[in-house]
Amino acid sequence: MARQKKTLLKQPLQVSTIKLTPAEKDILQRLSQDASDNLGWTVTPSTIIRALIQHAGQQPQTWRASAIYPPIEQEIAAGRVWGYKRPEKNN
């Protein structure tokens, strides 16, 4: 009996641009190389970013508030964020 191939449901990838400092780019390259060495597959920086986003999205709000928001606040304090602070809602 012939074995059926599994068909993976793939979502199309969209190109997004991110801006990184040289140090952040080095970290991303190192993470990519470490993952490639450990997994035996070529792991691209894009794969690392997607995995981190998916992982963060699966965590509870309390985890995101304690693990993700402080570094975001550091980025804002360093002036590396575009945008503005939303006005407080009057309840």
Tens digit of pLDDT at every position of the chain (91 positions):
566 666 666 889 999 999 899 999 999 999 999 999 999 999 999 999 999 999 999 999 999 999 999 999 998 888 877 767 777 777 5
Q: What DSSP letter does each residue of 8-31 carry, written as one string?
A: P--PPP--------HHHHHHHHHH
What are the domain boundaries of the chain? 22-77
**N- to C-terminal Cα separation, the chain:** 67
Are 36 and 42 in contact, with CB atoms under 8 Å apart?
yes
Confidence (pTM): 0.74
* Separation of alpha carbons 46 and 50, rounded Å: 6
